[in-house]
Structure formats: C-alpha cells, structure tokens
Structure 1
Amino acid sequence: MLGIWREELRITERENSAIEKELNISEIIQQKSLLAYFQPIMSVTGNKIIGLEGLIRGIIPGTTQIISPLLLFEAGNKEGLSKDLDRACRDKVLAAFKPFYQSDQDLLLFLNLDTSIIDEVGCSNYLNDQVNQNGINVKNIVIEINESKAKNTLALMQFVDTYKNYGFLIALDDVGAGFSNMDRIADLKPDIIKIDRAIVHKMDYIYHKQEVFKSLVNLSNKIGALIIAEGVETKQEAIQVLNLGGQLIQGFYFSKPVEEFVFSEALLEKNIDIVEEYKAFLFRELEDYNRKCLKYSQTVNRMIKSISTYDVSEFNFQLLKCIQDSVLIDCAYVLDESGIQCSETVGAKHSSICEKLVFHSAKIGVDHSIKKYYYNLIRRKQNTYVTEPYVSMATGSLCITYSKIFKHTNKKYILCVDFLEKKEPISLSNEESDFKITNNM
C-alpha cells in the first residue's frame, strides 16, 4: 500500500506545511504518539477475512492533529531516525492487533517493514522479540517488504531467510509498480505477492493490465505464492481479479483503513455479492463467447463457400470481396496443406494504417506451420481452431484467428480469418450488456 505504512492521505499543501512546522519526530517516537489503523484482506472464495494490514498515523503530541504517513516517514528519514520510528510503529500495531489475535488465532497481521533499514539492522532478532513479547505466534505475522527500497540485495535475502526460518511469512509489496525487480521474486521466494493498485486500477477494461496480472498470477502459482490484489475500489475490479485467477482482495471496496476496525456482517455480505456477480458474469461471458463463435463460424463458412468455387489465383480478389465491408474482420489469408501461405494477407480497413515498422502482412510463401491455428488443425486432426486474443503482426490490432480446413480441387487448404477482438468493460448483472457483434456482409 504505497510502501512502508504509507497509505496516502489527501491533505492540502497548506495543511502539510503547518504540520511540518510543529512536527518533532524525536518527541513522537519517545512518546509513541502514533495511531494504528487496520484494513482487512478478504478471501473472496473462502468468504472470510484472512488478515489485517497494520498501517500507521502520527499525532502531534498534546493535540489531535493527525500526521500523514508520508510526512511522518520523511521526517524520520531526514533526522536519521528511520530505524527507531519503524520499531515504534511496529510496537503500536502489534499491541493494537493483539485483541484481534486473541479472538481469532488464525488471523494474519500484515506488518510493514521499512526495507531501507535492513542494511543497518542486518539479521537482528528485534522484530522476532517484538512479536514474542506481545504473545503473538510468529506464524501469524506476514512481513511486508518493498524490495525496491533495499540497497543491499544480499542483506535483504539474508533477512528474509532468517525470518522465514523463525516461521514468519514474507510478502512482496507493491509488485508491478514503478521499478519492481522481477528477478528478486525468484530470489526471495515470497509466500505472498501483493499486486499494486497501479495494475489493478481500471483492470476490468484495460487489456494490457489484465495480461500483466495474469502473468503475475501464473508466476505466483509456479513458485507457490499467494496473490493479493491491492487497491480494489470497485465491484468490476473485484470481479476481474477473480476472473484472472486472484482470490484475495484488499482495498476501499471492502473498507478503508480505520482506527477502530470491527468485523462486520456487511463485509461478508459484500463478499457474497461479489461471488454472485461473478457467477452471473461467467454465465454472460459464456453466452457471449458462444454467440461470437457462432458468428465467426457463419462468416468463415460463407467465405469458404465464396472462394472455393474459384481458382487459387482468384483467392485474393474473392477474399477482398468478402471482407471489404466488414467491421468484424481485420484480415484474411489462405494456407496450403503444409502451412505455406498461398494468398496475400487481405485486409479490410486496418492493414494500410498499420503497415509500418514491426507490423507487416505476411506474403505468399510464408511458412505458418508452427502457428497454433495451423498446428492444432493438422497434427491434432481438428477441423477448426480459435486462438486466444493476441496482437496481430499484420496490423497491430488485438484479434483472434479462426482457422478452418476446406477442400478445393481435391486438395486441402486452410482459411485463416483474423477477427478484431474488443475487450469490453465488465458489466454488472443489473446493467445492460455492452456486447454487440456487427457484420455487414
């Protein structure tokens, strides 16, 4: 959540300036003039709160004036007191978490660590002692690390190994934001990967964010880590997290960080609502997919019927006639039985725009035999094949390829049609579906 205890507060520059003048970080640390806030982490599929992230606010001693985390930690860093401030914050959060732990000894506490101090403290036993002194099992503590703040990779890895051996869980925070080092995920072998809000925000309709999220889910599955989606603010974002393989969610949609957190039925009701909406979404998605496949099949069959009555030399002209008025088709081409292209790549409206740089249409004679839309037809003896969405090298458009075998003068050919793929925002069950397919053929 924006790093070490730093969930962002919206305060004006004037308020910041006034607080900075009164801010005595040494006094705050000595008096532990700090407030612990908690934000729940939900297991949507398990329908329960699996843990709380502890966050911190400072208070100007003798007042009720709240200090934002950003100002608090900047002041600690400026005065060379980052280590002392970090330890004071952990004391406050652990003490505030203790009653929750006593009520539910399966509950996890996500405890932020200022990774920049690891070079200074090394593998000291201080954090382990803090947890034990509060009577909390170390297995209930998840240490959140923002690896990009660590200057010494070796010291970071030694710290992680030491605390894993104690029984602590390790979470990598803010993954996908800024300059997160993907190499360190494999090196540190975290138990949990927290995907940053920068990826989750508007992920319900921004395609490249969906692909990044899916990649991180696949990576986490392979290394045995759990995924938590941070910063989920809308029901649509929550549904997309589930759709892309995530199960654990943290964010304002469920609850903002609050000082007096209460386990309420409202949180579980929101969770149940997401599950029901996700079921409805899956049903609509399946119906949409079936409709698209039917439309694709009808279109391809008409094209095959049209071109198969003409000589191979006429394929280009006939393909152009078939697709010139279509808003659904990006381009089309024909392969022979061995996967060699025997027609030009004929485009509807898009090829002339994108025929530059890395995007170029395949020409007659190009070998497509290692492409899935060829290989799965011939080697697996399928008659048709539909790819996953991908970026076309012919036009740069997001598309799927529908390929189908047809016969012409006793020879096998394959018609490949690239259909434009448009990723629609997730619509909720009480909203009208935005999905439409248009074909002007």
Structure 2
Amino acid sequence: MVSALEVTKQKQYVPLLQPIFSVEEQNVVAYESLGRVRDGSGQLALVPEFSEPNVTPLRMSVIDRELLSISLEKIKNTNDQLFVNMSPDQVILEYEECKGNVLPITEIVKHHGVSLNRIVIEITEKSGSFGTDVLAAGVELLKEQGFGIALDDVGSESSNLERLGAIKPDIIKIDLNLLKKSIEKREYQSILEYLKQISLSIGSQLLFEGIESEEELYQAVNSGASLLQGYYLGRPAEYNEEKQSICDVVVPRLQIYHENKRKEVAKEIEFEKLIKTKLMSLQLKTIKLDNRVIIDPQSFFKLDPMIQRVYVTDWQGTQVSPYYERTSDSGFIENMSFLQKNWSYMPFFYKHVKQVFRDSESWQVSDPYWDKTLKKKVIVYSRVNEMGYSFFVDLVLDESK
C-alpha cells in the first residue's frame, strides 16, 4: 500500500502566493499560499485532493506541509506575513501530533528560520469531525505558539457565528459572494455592517477577498476592510516581490474613496444642521390627558416634507402619545395602536438617552437605519422637553441626492 507521503513525492506541488494589501499601511503586507500541482507538461492545476470529499486530514496535512515549506523559503528574507489554510480536522491533527507542547507546523516554520508571528493560520469553512469546543482548544494552542488566526469565508452558507465566537480570530475573511451581493442588495449591506460590529467587539480585522473591480474595492473599504485581496490587486503567482505596481493601482483609488467620503460626511452634517435648526424653532408642548400625552403634530409636518412620523415616549421608552404619520404634503393620521408600546429595544433609544445626558438643549440624531414599513432609509431626531418626555421625529432620507 502506498503511503500518503509516497503519493505526495510522486507529484510536484507548487504554492502560488496571492498578495494581501493593508489599507492602514498602504502596502502589500502578506501573501496567501494557494496550493497547485504541476503536470507532466509543466502546466499548473488545482490540487485534486483539495476537492475530494473523503480525503483524510493526514493526507491533506502532508501536502500542506510540503507547500508550506516551499512558501516559507520564498518569503523568509522579507517582512511579509504568510497566510496558510488549515481545515478544522487538520487543526485537531496538529493538536494530536503535538510533541512537548510543540506543534508540527511550529517545527516546520522554525526550521526555515521564520518567526511564528509572521504566519497566519486560516481556518477553512469546512465542517469538522469534532465539535466547536474541541476546535477552539486546538486553535488556542496555535495562538499560544504565536500564530495569527484567520477565519475563512465568513458569510458563506456553511459558516456560523458559534465558530466565530469560540475562535475569536485575529482576522475575519469575508466571503467574496457576500461582498458582491452587498453591492446589489441592501439586505447584504446590513449583514456586512453586522460583521463589522462583531469584528470591532472582538478586536478582529476584516479582510475582504475576491475583489475584482474598483466598485468592490470601495464597497469593501466602506464596510470596514483593513485588508484587501483579489484579482483587482494581484493574481496568485509563484512569487513577485514587486509591490509598487499594486500600490499604484490601489492607493489612488483609496484617495478617491476618502475624498468622496469626506464630501459625503460634510453633506450629511450640513443636512443635519438644517433639520436641527428647523426643529429648534418648535415649542415642545405636551398636555397629559388620562393615560396619554397630546402634542401639536401639525407643527412638525409643516417644517419639512421629509418628516414622516412623530411620537413621544416617557423616560423608560414607553410610547405615551399617538403615532402621527404623514399621509400627504399637508395631511397626517393619528395612530393609537402603538400607544403604550415600549421602544427601548430599538438601537437608537439608549443612544438618545446617552446623548441627552451629554446635551439636553439640542436635538440629537441617530445613525440611518432601514425601515421595513416605509421601505426607505430613516434617521431619527430626538429631544427631551422640560416635562421629561422624549420627542422622536422620523425623517425619510432621499437617497437619490
């Protein structure tokens, strides 16, 4: 019977290295090792074992360790990091083959004279034979050795938040299909925003892979990317230390992005000031009548046609006024169905409370959010009157401008 090692020796495995660009450092800082096999005619092809469903973790590790050794020789005299893929089962195999608290991969990297902190282990999206807790223990040992950890294809169908929470990777790689869908569909933009918040909460960087166009580059940076990867920046190659050509493409685009973003922010601030000035002209009078509060909604709807809804809550977030909704340029309806509903679960409510403590004299403004009922993007202006009631004004944004 031919061993996995003997099978490996019969083939010529070649690692291709794809550049990874740092938005912060404005340069290529790492490469991902992508395994290929060279046939008899010298042509490169995908490693067939990588797509075989029944290939053993041992055979995969034998191949990956050979590819790793070749990759290390290519980058050892540089400062670049190296990303290498490892399935969950391979992580457990490393754990099982550990000798005196030293992992097999640690021995290989040290043998080539490369610092362990220059290697990022990229945990693939494959499902493993063991539970998440076992995988987390194996990953923790990799971290203790000094390796960086990335979680691959977050946002793909097979990824899960449980693995993300258990591993707490240094880098979250966003599935390329999620990036592409986010350009066309708002729902996927919301998912990217959610992943951005998760990355901030656990201290991870976001790496967007599969970038193939200028539009996707802008979308990635706008979604919190600190690392970029894809054909638009550079294709996998046997190794090319010439990084300037990549910088010549990416850096000017990033400058354009930031210039446009600054103009967008300035426009948003100007708009917010305009609405705040209009709202400051109102007297926030309230009259308590039985179990509800009466206000003058007409005064709000006259201020600006983009004002869509007005209502009042108490300090705990319980709605105490009717829900006033615009029906036309000058008309509105009084909706009593939301009376006594508690809004404190909404993301903007306690942000409002916090802002009131900072400045009770001014109108506060929320971040935009997507309103499913209106099917439009909405921002909320809020302020507390002298009686302690919180006024909330929902304003629909005109995204065509």
Shorter-chain TM-score: what band?
0.7 to 0.9
* Displacement after TM superposition at 1:400 (Å): 0.9
3-state SS of 1:67 partner: strand
Contact kept in structure 1, 2:94 and 2:105, CA below 8 Å: no
| Alignment match of 2:46 (pick from 68, 82, 85) | 68
* Correspondence 1:5-404 to 2 at 5 A: 29-60=8-39, 62-69=40-47, 71-75=48-52, 77-78=53-54, 80-102=55-77, 104=78, 106-119=79-92, 122-124=95-97, 125-146=103-124, 148-153=126-131, 154-203=133-182, 206-297=185-276, 300=279, 304=282, 315=296, 318=298, 322=302, 326=305, 328-334=306-312, 341=319, 343-348=321-326, 363-364=338-339, 366=341, 371-372=349-350, 375=353, 379-380=357-358, 381-392=360-371, 395=374, 397-404=376-383
Identity %: 25
* Cα distance change on mapping 1:394 and 1:227 into 2, 3 Å: closer
Cα distance in 1 between the residues matched to 2:299 and 2:373 = 16
Q: TM-score, normalised by structure 2?
A: 0.77
Q: TM-score, normalised by structure 1?
A: 0.70
**1:416 aligned residue:** 392
Q: Answer with 195-204 or 35-44: which moved more.
A: 195-204
* Cα distance change on mapping 1:321 and 1:189 into 2, 3 Å: closer
* Displacement after TM superposition at 1:39 (Å): 0.8
* Displacement after TM superposition at 1:47 (Å): 1.6
Cα distance in 2 between the residues matched to 1:50 and 1:227 = 14
* Cα distance change on mapping 1:330 and 1:231 into 2, 3 Å: farther
* Cα distance change on mapping 1:123 and 1:164 into 2, 3 Å: farther
* Cα distance change on mapping 1:373 and 1:418 into 2, 3 Å: farther
* Displacement after TM superposition at 1:145 (Å): 0.8
* Displacement after TM superposition at 1:51 (Å): 0.8
Cα distance in 2 between the residues matched to 1:348 and 1:43 = 47
Q: Answer with 42-51 or 379-388: which moved more.
A: 379-388
Q: Which has the higher contact order (CA 8 A, sep 6+)?
A: 1
Question: What do residues 175-201 of structure 1 show as CA deviations (whole Å, max 9, x unaligned)?
Answer: 222232322333323332222223322
**1:11 aligned residue:** none
Paired residues, number: 377
Q: Which runs of no fewer than 5 residues in structure 1 stay unpaired?
A: 1-24, 351-359, 425-434, 437-441
Cα distance in 2 between the residues matched to 1:140 and 1:382 = 52
Contact kept in structure 1, 2:17 and 2:237, CA below 8 Å: yes
Cα distance in 1 between the residues matched to 2:311 and 2:96 = 62
What amino acid maps onto 1:132 in structure 2?
K
3-state SS of 2:149 partner: strand
Cα distance in 2 between the residues matched to 1:181 and 1:400 = 31
Contact kept in structure 2, 1:330 and 1:419, CA below 8 Å: yes
Question: What do residues 197-230 of structure 1 show as CA deviations (whole Å, max 9, x unaligned)?
Answer: 2332254575444443344344334434333222
3-state SS of 1:45 partner: coil
* Displacement after TM superposition at 1:293 (Å): 1.4
* Cα distance change on mapping 1:292 and 1:234 into 2, 3 Å: farther
* Displacement after TM superposition at 1:147 (Å): 5.5
CA-based RMSD: 4.0
What amino acid maps onto 1:168 in structure 2?
F
Question: What do residues 273-302 of structure 1 show as CA deviations (whole Å, max 9, x unaligned)?
Answer: 133123202321122202321453466468
Contact kept in structure 2, 1:58 and 1:72, CA below 8 Å: no
